A and B are shown apart, each in its own frame.
Chain A
Amino acid sequence: MYAQLVETGVKRVTPLAEMSEQERSFQERIDGEIKIEAKNWMPEAYRQTLIRQISQHAHSEIVGMLPEGNWVTRAPTFKRKLQLMAKIQDEAGHGLYLYSAMETLGADRDEEVARLHSGKAKYSSIFNYPTLNWADMGAVGWLVDGAAIVNQVVLQRTSYGPYSRAMVRICKEESFHQRQGYEILLTMMREGNQAQRDMVQDAINRLWWPALMMFGPSDEHSPNSAQSMAWKIKRQSNDELRQRFIDQTIPQLELLGCTCPDPELKWNAERGHYDFGEIQWEEFYEVLKGNGPCNQERLDTRRQAMEDGAWVRAAAVAHAARKAARDAA
C-alpha cells in the first residue's frame, strides 16, 4: 500500500543473457526464492529501488499518524480513545521497524526524512485526505489498513529479507487495527442513531476511491513494475491487488448496510470478480505531486515537529557526550 509508485530507474528488464556473472547469480538466487540479505551483493538499482520503497513505506507510517492524531483528542469513549492511542503507537513502531530495515541497505534515516520534508520523497497518497468525522477513524482502519494488508501480506514474500521480516511483524498488528476499524463502523451502523449512520456512509463515500488509489497506477501505466516483479520486490501487480481488495471488501460493505460510491460496481459472474468504475487518475497524480487536500498541512506539521525538536535532540546528544566523558573519567 504505502509505497505506491516507486521508481526503479530501469527502462526494461535485462534478460539473463545480457547480465554479468554477478548479476546472473543474484537473479538466480531471486528466482530460487532465496532471500537477499544485507551483506549479499545486489545490483545498485535493486538497492536504490528498495531504499525508495521502504523509506516511502516508513514515511507513510509516520505521516499516517496525523489524520488519526486529528481525532485522538476527540475520541468519544474510553474504549475508542485507548484503541486509537494504541494504534497510533503501533504506527510509530512500524515506522521504526521500516527505517531500520531501510538502513540495512546503507541508507541514512535522517537523510531520507530530510528528503520527505523537502518534498522529494513520497508517502502514501491516502494520508493527504482529511479526516472529517469520527467515522473516518473506522473507515481508515477498515479501508486504509485493509488495503495496506492486501499489499503487505504479499510483501511478506518480498525478496529482501529485512523488508520481508518487517512485513510479517507489521501485518499482525495491522490486521488487528483493521478489525477494530470495522467494528467502529459496525457499532455506529447497528447501535447508533441516524446521524451516526450518515457519518459512516459519508466517510465511505470520501475514502473509497482514495483507498483504491493506494494500490498505485494501473498496470498499463506502471512502467517500474516489470523490474520490481523480476526482482520479486513486488510479487503481484497493482491491478491484481486492487481487484482482490475490492472483491473481499464489498461483502463487508454490504454487511454494514452501506453503499459503494461507484455506480459501475457490479458482480461479474463470468470473471468471478467485481467490475468497477474508472479511478480518477488525474486526482491521483495531482495528490502524488503534492496538490492533494492536505499535502501542505501534513508536510508542514512534520517539518515543524523536526524544527521545534532540534534543540531537544541537540540536548540529548550533548548530555550523552558529557555523561560518557564522566563515566570514562
Chain B
Amino acid sequence: MNPANDLLNHLLRLGDSALVQGQRLCEWCGRAPALEEELALMNVGLDLVGQARNWLDYAAELLADGRDADHLAFRRDERAYRNLLLVEQPNGDFAVTMLKQFFYDAWHLETLRGLCLSSDPRIVGVAAKAFKEVTYHLRRSSEWVERLGDGTEESHRRMLQALARLWRFTEELIATDPAELALHQAGLLADPAQVATAWRDRVAAVFARATLPVPEAPSHFYLDARKGLHTEHLGLLLAQMQSLPRAYPDAVW
C-alpha cells in the first residue's frame, strides 16, 4: 500500500464523517424538541461542517488533481465516500440522534487527541481547533444520553431501541485497520488501540450513569466504509446534498 494514499484515505474518513454528521444535523432544522436544541444542533453541525472543509482542503492538496474541497464534498459518489457508517444512519427520533452523536463524539475526541500529536503540523493545526469544539460536543451528547437513559420510562425504552439500531455500527470505531496502525507507527495518526480503549471506557461510564446496558462487542460484517461500502442511506443523503452542484456543474455560487 502507498502510505500517501492511506493518509489521504484517513483524511477523507475524518472529513467525510464530519460532513455527513453535519448534514444529518441540518435535517433537524426547525424540528428540534426545544428552541435551545435548535441552537445547539445547528451549532454542533456548523462546527463539524467547518472541520470537514479543513480536512478536505488538505485532502485536495494531497490529491493535487485540480479538485478542491467543494468538489470532493459535492461531486464525489457514495462509493468514493469514506465516512463512518454510523453517521450516515437516519436521524430517527431524538434518542437515535443523540446516541449516534455520542458514539461519534466519543470516537472523534480520542481520534483528535491523537492527531494533535501528529508529526504533520497541518494535521495538528486542524485537529487542535477541532478538539476544542468536540470537547463541547461530547459533553453535550453525554449529558443527553444520561438524561434520556435515566429520564422517563418512555425515554429509557427509546434509548434501548436506539441502541439496538446503532450498536452494530460501532464496530468500525474500535476495529484496528492495519493501514492506520502503520500511519500511527509513522507518527502521523492517533493510536487506534488507544482510541478503542478510551471509547469503550467512555461508553461504559456514560451508560452506567444512563442506566443503559453495554451490549457484547459487535462483530464485523459485510459493509466497510473504508472501502466505500456504505448502507443504502448514504446515496440518498448525497443526492440531496449534491443536487445543485451536480445540476449546474459550471456554476459559481
Chain A residues near B (Cβ < 8 Å): 62, 65-66, 68-69, 72-82, 85-86, 88-89, 92-93, 95-96, 99, 134, 184, 187-188, 191-193, 195-196, 301-302, 304-306, 308-316, 318-320, 322
Q: Report how far A275 CA is from B32 CA in the complex, Å.
A: 44
Chain B residues near A (Cβ < 8 Å): 22-23, 26-27, 29-39, 42-43, 45-46, 49-50, 52-53, 56, 69-70, 73-74, 93-94, 146-148, 150-152, 154-155, 158, 240-241, 243-245, 248, 250-253
Q: Given that A188-B253, A314-B154, A315-B154 are contacting pairs, would A69 and B46 also be in contact in the complex, using a CB cutoff of 8 Å?
A: no
Q: Which B residues are in CB contact (< 8 Å) with A322?
A: 150
Question: How many whole Å from B58's CB to the nearest CB in chain A?
Answer: 13
Q: Report how far A156 CA is from B46 CA in the complex, Å.
A: 29
Q: Given that A73-B241, A82-B53 are contacting pairs, would A309 and B94 also be in contact in the complex, using a CB cutoff of 8 Å?
A: yes
- Could you tell me if B248 and A196 are in contact, using CB atoms closer than 8 angstroms? yes
- Could you tell me if A93 and B39 are in contact, using CB atoms closer than 8 angstroms? yes
- Could you tell me if B146 and A78 are in contact, using CB atoms closer than 8 angstroms? no
Give the one of A73, A78, A195, A308 with max B CB within 10 A: A78
Option from A191, A195, A301 in Cβ contact (under 8 Å) with B31? A301
Give the one of A306, A315, A322 with max B CB within 10 A: A315
- Could you tell me if B241 and A305 are in contact, using CB atoms closer than 8 angstroms? no
User: Residue on A with the closest CB to B45?
Assistant: A85
User: Residue on B with the closest CB to A67?
Assistant: B30
- 24 A/B residue pairs, CB under 8 Å, sorted by A: A72-B29, A73-B23, A73-B26, A74-B244, A77-B245, A78-B56, A78-B69, A81-B26, A92-B38, A92-B42, A188-B252, A191-B252, A196-B248, A308-B31, A308-B93, A311-B154, A311-B155, A312-B34, A314-B155, A315-B147, A318-B152, A319-B147, A319-B148, A322-B150
Option from A74, A191, A195, A301 in Cβ contact (under 8 Å) with B240? A74
- Could you tell me if B42 and A88 are in contact, using CB atoms closer than 8 angstroms? yes
Q: Which A residues are in CB contact (< 8 Å) with B42?
A: 85, 88-89, 92
Q: Besides A86-B46, A314-B151, A315-B147, 14 other CB < 8 A contacts?
A: A62-B30, A65-B30, A66-B30, A69-B30, A73-B26, A73-B240, A77-B74, A85-B22, A92-B35, A99-B35, A302-B30, A313-B34, A314-B155, A315-B151
Q: At the interface, is chain A mostly helix, strand, loop or mixed?
A: helix
Question: How many whole Å from A108's CB to the nearest CB in chain B?
Answer: 14
Option from A78, A92, A196 in Cβ contact (under 8 Å) with B251? A196
Q: Report how far A92 CA is from B34 CA in the complex, Å.
A: 10
- Could you tell me if B70 and A78 are in contact, using CB atoms closer than 8 angstroms? yes
Q: Report how far A77 CA is from B251 CA in the complex, Å.
A: 11
- Could you tell me if B35 and A96 are in contact, using CB atoms closer than 8 angstroms? yes
Question: How many whole Å from B123's CB to the nearest CB in chain A?
Answer: 19
Q: Which A residues are in CB contact (< 8 Å) with B31?
A: 301, 304-305, 308
- Could you tell me if B155 and A82 are in contact, using CB atoms closer than 8 angstroms? no
Q: Report how far A195 CA is from B253 CA in the complex, Å.
A: 12
